[in-house]
Amino acid sequence: MFKFLKPQVSVVLLLTSFFCSSASIAQPSGNQAAGNQAAGNQATGNKATGNQATGNQATGNQAAGAQAVGALAKPWLNLGRAATPAEVKAWDIDVRSDFVGLPKGSGSVAKGEEVWEAKCASCHGTFGESNEVFTPIVGGTSKKDIETGLVANLARPDFPQRTTMMKLSTVSTLWDYINRAMPWNAPKSLKVDEVYAVTAYILHLAEVLPSDFSLNDQNIAEVQKRIPNRSGKVKFIGLWDLKAKPDVQGELCMSNCKVSAEVASILPEFARNAHGNIAEQNRFVGASRGVDTTKPPLKEPLKVAIASGIADSPKLAVAAPKTPLALAKEQNCLACHGVDQKMVGPGFREVAVRYKGNIKAEATLITKISQGGSGNWGQIPMPAQPQLGSEDVKTLARWILEGAK
Amino acid sequence: MNLLDDNSAQIAPNSSPALIPGRVQKAPENHVDHTFHATARKARRSFMGKALAMGAGVASSSAVSARAEGEDAILKLPPHTVGLGQPVAARGYGLPSQYERNLQRRESPGLTRVGAASVSFAPLQSLFGIITPNGLHFERHHQGWWDINPEHHRLMINGLVKQAKVFTMDDLMRLPAVSRIHFIECGANTGMEWGNVAVPTVQYSHGMLSCSEFTGVLLSTLLDIAGADTKKGRYLLAEGADGSSMTRTVAMDRALDDVMVAWAMNGEMLRPENGYPLRLVVPGVQGVSWVKYLRRIEVGDQPYYTKDEVMHYVDLMPDGRHRQFTSIQEVKSVITTPSGGQVLMDKGYHNVTGLAWSGRGRIKRVDVSMDGGRNWRTARLETPVLSKALTRFNIDWVWDGGPAILQSRAIDDSGHIQPMMRQLRAVRGTRSIYHNNAIQSWKVTETGEVFNVQVS
């Protein structure tokens, strides 16, 4: 939200600050780039020399254009139009940490609970504790944290998860994000008072506010003083300002460097195929191939293994991905399911219609396909499909939910 | 002449019969078409059966003659040499070869729970040069992607400005345009590897990285038109038009330097997954600040403390405090071939290749080690070497068939040197998630298989 200050005309000098660049000087591009030289290089199209080869992406275009019309004219200044007050109001919804932009309103914990049950709990759990769809909102903070302003559990490497309330340091952020982006599938549908109410309810679940509290634009600054992690953030300008010094620097040693070069960490073998078969994720020509991760690591070099025709030589298939329909046919899904209509089981598109807008649809369907089920579409059970790989199940589930096209 | 040679000549006429040092030996089962593959398998079954029964040293005369004459790939003219090909515009918008289908952007299982708030990784292991093909550009969505009608898209500039302005795409595309090549890297790229090795390949360890030539207008031009107060207004808020209406704070000095409002990537309009029709380009800064579906820029005198500056994209330090507003993608490099999950076809010569980049400027040098960091050689940098863009490096390597640990180390023109994992951990611990620019190690075993490892 824009806090109104007396406007000032700024002078952004696009072209007045000329800078002499040479091929050997590294030069960040920008307004101050050397227009003349850049324009020259681009015009001659000489790729091997000057800016392009050495890292200067100079702003040739703008400079060249300006030269043609006169450097001070800026004949584009009249482009665009004035925004109307109503338009600014419609879009300028951000709320700053000093609460500039926060609209007047109020909402109680009790009202928040109602809204929560109706619109939030399906993803976040009744008590904001659910870990099913998103990371839990509430948990991990203590009464002590509310006093200190620092969440003690954040310093514990063994603490399993970082909840929203553990990380939250500015209450304005919570209000702003609920207002702009929630509920997940219908953002910006909550009324202002509902946003206050849901914010109050979350803070109540986190034991920051009592159950009879009503949050409003007047008391929110006081509430900020109770946010458990309000002092938990630091601004490190080494990763913000290019002029500031970095905190970690490497070494330039070239020979006999003091390193142990011992392998300290490697993917455990049970996770070998967790990202799917890597053979199918690499090009099948070139100096290397993806290894077949459906099998244990190679026992012999590839050349030897292939030449001797041993059984576990890597199968480096072309692996043309199957279309979901082909997969469904191959897996005999179509024996029981029509694409449109119910046969033994429901038609795929009937399934899509039933689950439309259901956030858990994919996960539900994945379970139904791999583990089977009954009672949802009739009494004939759907058998489990243990032969299907997890990627294939996911492909099928997504395809079905997208209307089996 | 031995059995194995004859056999390989039989089943793979285009593989070289003898091991030539330094030459890549083709594998028989993956570079031939399906028809040939099937024939070859049949032939191998019958031939191998007989040959093995008769014992080694018995050569088939037909195999010998076939090899003496040459490869079928040359001797037998294929359909594409003796037939009529496809007409022009058979595909109004061209597609990659059917043989390139293994290259896909992919999700890392278990990383995120909802597809609309997830990430897909670019297949760096199979890409060349520095430009990422638009269809393989990594994705990160916070509330799903949209294909927005550009005719109805608007950009508003408000806040500390003389006049709040609205621009249509028509307006924007009339303005003085610039084209720049820049990398975009997610702040969480390599984030899964802070504690230990977690993923098998460079696609998942470094694939939240892409590089494009962007075309658009400098943000400074728009701020000039609106009459922005660039003295008081030290910060800007960038806001998207999608459901999450993503917001991030951008520093005014960057906005006046090289930040762009872009509508094009690599010669065509932005892809919907990358913010069509308008996105912010903040060179050298983590991807979350490159707001997609950009609808509004607000000029202000304070940072905004948005959700992605308070809840996410904050770096947890060992003392339990989070660093906030971390933005710069620091100097980093990675060898893309050979890399984790690949297997070298043979001993001998290999061109080791990779990518280097820095959010602080231009890559000055890349060193490569084949022995886990004891000894280093300087790699060749391919041109162009551009500020805040990917830089391709290559270096020669003759693999002797023994174990090796490959690493690369980049140095940028600010003098910043890519650190080792242990140097990063000494300062930032292991729970930071964001801004892991450590030297990557790939272990090559005697079998030629390459593993993602971390060295102590």
**B89 CA: distance to closest CA in chain A (Å):** 24
In a domain, A70, yes or no: yes
Report yes or no: A311 and A320 within 8 Å, Cβ to Cβ.
no
pLDDT tier for residue B296 given thresholds of 50, 70 and 90: very high
DSSP A237-292: GGGT-TTSPPS-------SS------EEEE--GGGTTTT--GGGGS-SSSSEEE--
Share of chain B above pLDDT 70, in %: 85
The answer to whether residues B310 and B337 belong to one domain is no
Where among A29, A62, A80 does a domain terminate?
A80
| Average pLDDT score over chain B | 89
Q: DSSP H helical segments within A309-382, as ranges?
A: 324-330, 348-355, 361-371
Q: Are residues B300 and B160 in the same domain?
A: yes
Q: Give the pLDDT confidence score for residue B231 in this predicted structure.
A: 97
pLDDT of residue A271: 94
Q: Are strands B154-159 and B294-300 parallel, antiparallel or unpaired?
A: parallel
Pair (A59, A139) in one structural domain = no
Q: Crossing angle, helix A361-371 and helix A348-355, to 10 degrees?
A: 140
* Per-residue pLDDT tens over the stretch A100-150: 999 999 999 999 999 999 999 999 999 998 888 888 999 999 999 999 999
Tell whether A217 and A275 lie within a shared domain.
Answer: no
Are residues B199 and B58 both part of a single domain? no
Q: What is the pLDDT of residue A320?
A: 53
Looking at the fold, whether B41 and B169 belong to one and the same domain comes out as no
Tell me: pLDDT of A344 over 60. Answer: yes
Better-predicted residue by pLDDT, A326 or B381: B381
Domain boundary among B259, B291, B323: B323
Confidence of residue B198 (pLDDT cuts 50, 70, 90): very high
Residue B32 lies in a domain: yes
Does residue A164 sit in the same domain as residue A55? no
**Domain around A24:** 11-80
Q: Is A160 on the interface with B (CB under 8 A)?
A: no
> Does B58 reside within a domain?
yes
- Tell me the mean pLDDT in the region B71-99: 94
Instruction: Please give the residue that has the higher pLDDT: either A86 or A23.
Output: A86
- The answer on pLDDT for B149 being more than 50 is yes
Which CATH number do you get for residue A150?
1.10.760.10
Confidence at residue A335, expressed as pLDDT on a 0 to 100 scale: 64
State the Cα–Cα distance between residues B252 and B423, nearest whole angstrom: 32
Say what the pLDDT of residue A359 is.
83
Q: How confident is the model at residue A356 (pLDDT cuts 50, 70, 90)?
A: confident
Q: What is the pLDDT of residues A148-157, one digit of tens each?
A: 999 999 999 9
Min Cα distance A330 → chain B (Å) is 19
In a domain, A235, yes or no: no
pLDDT at B67 over 70: no
B323, B341, B365: which is the final residue of a domain? B323
Using alpha carbons, select from A405, A318, A263, A230 the residue that is nearest to residue B453. Answer: A263
For chain A, positions 191-210, list CB contacts with chain B under 8 A: none
- Is B439:B421 a contact under the CB 8 Å cutoff? yes
Q: Inform me whether the pLDDT recorded for A373 exceeds 70.
A: yes
Residues B118 and B166 grouped into a single domain: yes
The answer to whether A122 faces chain B, any CB pair under 8 Å, is no
Q: For residue A87, what are the CA distances in angstroms to A21, A205, B156?
A: 44, 37, 9
* Higher local confidence (pLDDT), B111 or B230: B230
Higher pLDDT, B32 or A89: A89
Distances A9 to B161, B228, B233, B256 between C-alpha atoms, Å: 8, 7, 12, 15
Q: Least CB-CB distance to B417: which of A27, A251, A299?
A: A251
Domain span at B7: 3-81
The percent of residues in chain B predicted with pLDDT above 90, rounded, is 82
Same domain, yes or no, for B314 and B341?
no
Q: Which of B270, B304, B323 is the last residue of a domain?
A: B323
B103 in a domain, yes or no? Answer: no
Domain match, B262 and B280 both: yes
**Same domain, residue pair B174 and B295:** yes
State the Cα–Cα distance between residues A172 and A156, nearest whole angstrom: 27
**Looking at the domain assignment, is residue B193 inside a domain?**
yes
Name every chain B residue with its beta carbon within 8 A of the beta carbon of A184.
143
Residues A132 and A197 placed together within one structural domain of the fold: yes
List, in sequence order, every residue forming a beta bridge with B279; answer none if it has no partner: B262
pLDDT value of residue A332: 67
Q: Does A62 have pLDDT greater than 80?
A: no
A359 part of a folded domain: yes
Average pLDDT of the segment spanning B50-72? 52
The label of the residue with tokens 């073998």 reads A269
How many residues are given for chain A? 405
A353 and A394, same domain (yes or no): yes
Domain identity same for A189 and A120 = yes
Amino acid at B67: R
- Is residue B132 located within the same domain as residue B254? yes
Same domain, B363 and B435: yes
pLDDT at A307 over 50: yes
- pTM above threshold 0.90: no
* Predicted local distance difference test score (pLDDT) of residue B3: 35
Residue A304 and residue A330 in one domain? no
Does residue A50 belong to any structural domain of this protein?
A: yes
Q: Burial level of B111, CB count in 10 A (0-12/13-18/19+)?
A: middle
Q: Residue range B122-138: average pLDDT?
A: 98
DSSP one-letter string for B361-392: S-EEEEEEESBTTSS-EEPEEPSP--TTS-EE
Residue B65 in domain? yes
Among A190, A224, A258, the domain-final residue is: A224
Of A48, A242, A300, the CB nearest to B328: A242
Most B CBs within 10 Å: which of A4, A29, A165, A185, as the mutation test of the B interface?
A: A29
The Cα of A373 is separated from the nearest Cα of chain B by a number of Å equal to 23
Residues of chain A positioned with their CB less than 8 A from the CB of B424: 248
Number of domains in chain A: 4
Whether B139 maps to a domain, the answer reads yes
Question: Comparing B420 with A329, which gets the higher pLDDT?
Answer: B420
Q: Are residues A328 and A387 in the same domain?
A: yes
Point out the least confidently predicted range of A281-285, A315-319, B71-75, B138-142: A315-319
Residue A70 confidence class, pLDDT cut points 50, 70, 90: low
In a domain, B338, yes or no: yes
Answer whether residue B59 shows pLDDT above 50: no
Q: Are residues A285 and A334 in the same domain?
A: no
Asked if A319 contacts A356 with a C-beta cutoff of 8 angstroms, the reply is no
Q: pLDDT per residue over A242-270, tens digit each?
A: 999 999 999 999 999 999 889 999 999 99
B336 lies in the same domain as B318: no
Q: Do the domain assignments include residue A179?
A: yes
Q: What is the pLDDT of residue B1?
A: 34
Same domain for A42 and A143: no
Statement to judge: residues B267 and B133 lie in one domain: yes
**Is residue B92 domain-resident?**
no
For residues B147 and A62, the answer to whether their CB atoms sit within 8 Å is no
For the ranges B5-14, B223-232, B346-355, the lowest mean pLDDT is seen at B5-14
Tell me whether A66 touches chain B (CB under 8 Å). Answer: yes
Q: What angle do CA B36, B38, B43 make, to 5 degrees?
A: 90
**Residues A175 and A200 sit within 8 Å (Cβ to Cβ):** no
Q: Is the pLDDT of residue A23 over 70?
A: no
Mean pLDDT of B47-73: 53
What residues contact B392, with CB distance under 8 A and at least 6 apart?
Answer: B128, B129, B130, B353, B354, B355, B381, B382
Structurally, how many domains does chain B consist of? 3
Residue A174 — φ and ψ, nearest 5°?
-65, -45
CA distance A397 to chain B (A): 13
pLDDT attached to residue B356: 98
pLDDT of residue B17: 36
Task: Establish if A245 belongs to a structural domain.
Answer: no
Does residue A91 sit within a domain?
Answer: no
Beta bridge partners of B324: A235
The mean predicted confidence, pLDDT, of chain A is 80
Are residues B114 and A359, on separate chains, in Cβ contact within 8 Å? yes
CA distance B74 to chain A (A): 18
Residue A238 lies inside a defined structural domain of this protein? no
